Structure 1
Amino acid sequence: MNRGELEDLTKHINDKISLVKRLLELRAVAKDPDKRAYLHKIEHDINAINGLLDRFERYVSQQRDLLKHLQDLDTFFQEDEQNAQHLLENIPPHMPRKGAQLIVQGGQTTALSKQAEVNIVPQEQDQPRKPPRSQIKEMEFITVQEFDSIPQYMKGRVTYDQLNSAVKSINMAITGKYKIFQQPVKSLSNAARKFHQRFKEQETKDTKGQFFVVEEDLRELAQLKVDKRFVGMLNMLRHCQRLKELRGGGLTRYMLL
C-alpha cells in the first residue's frame, strides 16, 4: 500500500469515528427531555427541507425537458425560415407578380404585353361587355421533371426559368391573338381589323378549332425575337409535347397540343 492510499484509508476511518462520536453525543442529548423537543423540531425542519429539495429537483427536471423542447422548436423554425427565404429568393420569373395586368384563362394566369393591349378593341369601353365565345387555350408551364427529361444536347445552355419564360411569352401572343380573333369584326378598330384579317388568312383546315401562332404573331404580340436560340426552345417544347409544327403556305404554325 502506497502513502496516498494509506492517507485515504486513515481519513475514512477518522470520518467514521467522528460520526460515531456525534451519534453518541446526540444519544446522550436525547435522554434530556428538554433537549429532546429541540431535536424533534430539528427533525421536522430537516424533513420539510428534504421535501422542498425533492420538489425543486422535479421542477428543475421539468424545466430542463421544456428547454430541450424549445430548443428543438427553435431549430425547426430556423429551418422553416431558411426554406422560406430560399423560396423568396428563387421565385420563378414566369410566376405572376403583384400589380401586373393579368388575364386568367384555362386555369393559367397570363400578363398581356402593351402591344397586345393596344391591338385589342379600344371601342370595348363604350360597349356592354359580352361573355367570351370560348376559352383561350394556353400552354402549360414545363415542370422540373420534364425539363430534366430533355436531352442535354437539345437544352444547351437554356435554363429551366428561360424555357418557362418562353412559354409565358407564347401564351401572351396566343391570348392577344385570339382575344382579337374571337371578336366581331364590326366591333374592332382599324388596326385590330388588319390583325383579324391576317389571323383569318393563316387558318387552314388542319388548324380549325385549334390555337396556334406564327413568327409574326410572336414578334408583334409578345415582342419576341425569333432567333436560333428561340427556335431551339421551340424544339424543347415539342419534345415536352406542348406544341407541334404545321407548315404550309410559306408559314410555320406552332400549334398547341
Structure 2
Amino acid sequence: MEEITNHLEGRLDTIEEGFKWMSSGVLEDTLACVDSTAFIAAKIEIKSEKFERLKFRHEDLVKESRTWSEKFHVLRNLQKELITLLPQAMIKSKDTLTSENKNKNLTIPSLIQFKLPEFDSIPAYMKGRLNYNSLNQALEEFNSVLKTKYTFFNQGFNPNANFKTKTKYQEMKKLETKETKGLCFLVMDDIKALPSFKTDSSRKSIFSILRHFHKIKEIRGPGSIVRYAVIEGI
C-alpha cells in the first residue's frame, strides 16, 4: 500500500513540474508538457482502477477465509460430538492397540544345543569339517539373531518411527506367508554375515544337521527366498 502511494505521489510531482513549464510561455515546451502530462494522468487513472479492483478482491478473500475458518470450527465440534456417540468398542486408543499387539506376539524360540552323544550320532558325511564346539557356536549365533529380529518385530508397526525403522518392519512383514504363521524364521540376509555361516560348506552342513534333527524346516518361495523356520519344541 505504501509503495503504491509513493508511486502515485511521484507521478503527481511530475505533473506539477510540467505546469511550471507551461507557465514559461514557450510553445514547444508547453505542448510537450501537455502530452507528457496527459499520458501520465492516463496511467495514473489505469493504476488507480487496478488498485481498486485489488482492494475489493482482498476484501473478498478475507471474507472467504473467515467463512472457511468458521466451517472448520463447526466440523471440529461436530467430530467431537460424533465420537461421543460411537460405541466404546469402536474407539481404540493407542494403548489399547499396543496391548492387543502384545497379546499376538510370537514366542521367540531357541535352538537347543547338541549334547555330545547327539553330535557323535551325526553321519560323518553330514558333519564335514564341523566339530562339536563349532556346531553349538553356530546355534548360539542363530539364536541371537533370531531373538534380536523378533524382539523388534513384536513391537509392531510404529507409524511415528523413522523411515529406516518402518521400512525394516515392512520388509520383514512381506516375508511372511501362510506357511510361516506362528513360526519364527531367518533368511539368508540375516545369516550370511554370521561367522559360523560365512562359507557355503559350513552353511550346508549346519542346515543339513538341523533339518536331520527336526530343529528347523525350510520354507521356500516365492522366487529364490528360503526361510529357515525354527520348529524345535513345536
**TM-score (normalizing by structure 2):** 0.49
**TM-score (normalizing by structure 1):** 0.45
Q: Which has the higher helix share?
A: 2
